[in-house]
Structure 1
Amino acid sequence: MLKRATTSNSGNTPRLRSRAAVMAAGLGAAAVLGAGAANAADSGKATAALPGVNASAVQAQAHAQAKAVQNTKKAAEQAKKDKAAEQAAAKKKAASWIDPVAKYTLSASFGNDGSRWAHKHSGQDFAVPLGTNVMAAHTGTVVKAGGNGAGDGPAYGNAIVIKNGNGVYSQYAHLSRIDVKVGQQVTTGQHIAQSGNTGNSSGPHLHFEIRTTPNYGSAVNPVNFLHKVGVKV
């Protein structure tokens, strides 16, 4: 009796299992790679988005800082200009001359004759109300201040003499009040006294002299002098 030859699959089983394992591994790897690629893509999107946001913020901050630096620089430059202008104005003020009173009427002039003077009039009179603010006509140092003409005689009443430098002295007389002391430094336009009617005076006014020494007898025409230094009397 003939026996039918049978084919056993037992020998193929290891191959099939190996092939299945390989396929499964391949599918798993593909899945893993796919997931990784997807995750990488998502991560890339997040990474791409994040630098964009940060760059914008950093740019805005840098712009604000640059603007602040620029504003600070401008402020410093303006402060420097303002200080220079202030110094220039102060220097100009110190170098300038002014009228000793703001509002006035010119009365007795330099060189006039009259019964009120033993000699010719030695200054320029500014007719002003009693108590008018008297100012330093120029920066300088007070060298005389007091009654009896500050040493120049009773005809001047209360008086002040200021040394203005370069051999020039200014004198203010017939004052009702003296508000500076000998040795005090004064600046152009500074209040020094109030006008009055003391001494040999026919009415409230300021007697103003320009001298070459602090003492009586060295006066020059004050109006001519003021014109030379740019003051329109």
Structure 2
Amino acid sequence: MTGGAVAVGPVLAVVLALLMIIAAGAGAAGRLGVSRAVVTASLRAVLQLAVVSLLIAAVVRSWWATAAFILLMVLVAAFTSARRVGSRRHARLVVLPIAAGALPVGALIVAAGTTPLTEIAVLPIAGILIGGAMTATSLSGRRALDELRDRHGEYEAALALGFLPRDAALEVCRPTAGQALVPALDQTRTVGLVTLPGAFVGVLLGGGSAVEAGATQLLVLVALLAVEAIAVAVTVELVAAGLLSRAAPQTR
């Protein structure tokens, strides 16, 4: 083991297997219906990280390769979020909130010089922001569509009162869709008190000072709030416009 890094070896493999069994067992005991998903997600993570670990050294040697990898991240995030929201056919729409959140915020961070303009610095920042946008899009899209389905009577009542279709949909789905920001808000509120997130720990393990680690983590957390807020706002607009639905996309 080097510094605070995790030791790679048979013991790690056994611990990971035990953790996967515990997670799947807890899901089964609670009848949550996620046991199979826990196992498949864990196995996919092992395979994907193994491949990425082999590729990453080559990717960060070239801006073209780094840009291509970031594009791949966006596409995978869009397909993943589209499947969570409704159907993979929505990926071309779901990519909008993900890109609208992650790309301008990432560009601002780099343009301001708060992170070095190097492949090895830009790539992980992009991954963090895209991941946050993906999660916010998935959560807000699911909540908004669930609300429109469960409270369809209220939607029709708003129409009867003279609301435009978009405004009626927003009245129903906007409040609960905003709850997609709760995880990011809670993490930001409790950082340093409850958790020491990855960016903070990563800088410390890389030899940076505690002040540098804190500044890096603060940048990441506030950037994620911006990214996820944009993603949620765009997702809700897509739902309200009838473009993002669990039926064939259509314009009201």
* TM-score where L is the length of structure 1: 0.20
- Higher Rg: 1
Higher-RCO chain (CA-CA 8 Å, sequence separation at least 6)? 2
Higher strand share: 1
Higher helix share: 2
